[in-house]
Amino acid sequence: MAKMVEGRVCIVTGAGRGIGREHALMLAEHGAKVVVNDLGGSPEGTGSDVGPAQQVVDEITGFGGQAVANTDDVSDFEGAKRMVHQAIETFGRLDVLVNNAGILRDRMLVNMTEGEWDAVVKVHLKGTFSPTRHAAEYWREQVKAGNTVDARVINTTSVSGIYGNPGQTNYGAAKMGIGAFTIISSMELARYGITVNAIAPGALTRLTEPLMGGAITEEIREAQSPRWIAPICVWLASVESAGVTGRVFEASGQFLAIAESWHRGPSVTPVDDPTQLGPIVADLVARARPNADMGGQDRV
């Protein structure tokens, strides 16, 4: 089997379980040296444990790969800096950052607490910004020093964010924010040889399995296995993906797709009298495409 990321140094956050674990294992199978980051907390983001990250490192070294564990909190700015520096100090460089760490604290909006909002937004949104900020600084300094950079940032968004899902205003808002972060940072970082893309995965993990609300058949479990998400992550991490940036890929056991971002829909000449807007807005809404459902199709 050809190794797509031979010798490339990758950080994968939230890599102790689920999708992140599959990313780390497949990257290592394809020749990458991996920093396996995982705080080791609960699905709600409480507690810490080096065990999950170290177990993945042991799996990787067990089949002859190279990996090291990291348990920094990705939403802590200094912790994210330590993680980036650990990759550079351990393996001599950094080529790929996969921002995957996340938590859930689902609640309907009218019952959501400030703490539930803050915790989810911090881990997902700040936990994407902080490692990216430090990795981008490293790559920019490499360019200033005259070195060639061919780097990757791969973020994790969600269909809950790009399409919307009741009970997840905190999670969905953070994931939609990651989509915007992906697009804007891809514009800013292109000059340094850095691409930025995102993956919206569909998979059964310890975070999502409780949301299924019933018996999960083996067919469903296979179609929603986290292993289906890793191939697009590995491809995006490779040098082959250099021409692709600012994109969001939906990935699951059913399909691989591009999620298209907001586009301007029907429009009219503006008016300065709000009393005239009733029929105008009604016409615009009637001609506009409905918002997508969780399957990415027109909501009916």
171 is catalytic: yes
Query: How many CB atoms sit inside 10 A of residue 184's CB?
Result: 12
Catalytic residue among 138, 163, 171, 192: 171
Beta bridge partners of 194: 151
CA count, 13 A, side-chain hemisphere, 60 = 29
Structure token digits, residue 246: 């600012």
Radius of gyration of the chain (CA): 20
Give the residue from 49, 18, 19, 52 showing the smallest Cα distance to 36: 52
Look up the CATH architecture of domain 9-258: 3-Layer(aba) Sandwich (3.40)
What gap in Å lies between CA 82 and CA 287, rounded to an integer?
A: 51
Q: Structural domain boundaries of the chain?
A: 9-258, 266-300
Digitized pLDDT (tens) for each residue of the chain, 300 residues in all: 679 999 999 999 999 999 999 999 999 999 999 999 999 865 555 555 678 999 999 999 999 999 999 999 999 999 999 999 999 999 999 999 999 999 989 899 999 999 999 999 999 999 999 999 999 999 999 999 999 999 999 999 999 888 988 899 999 999 999 999 999 999 999 999 999 999 999 866 555 555 555 666 666 565 678 899 999 999 999 999 999 999 999 999 888 999 998 999 999 999 999 999 999 999 999 999 999 888 888 777
What gap in Å lies between CA 223 and CA 172, rounded to an integer?
A: 23
Model pTM score = 0.91
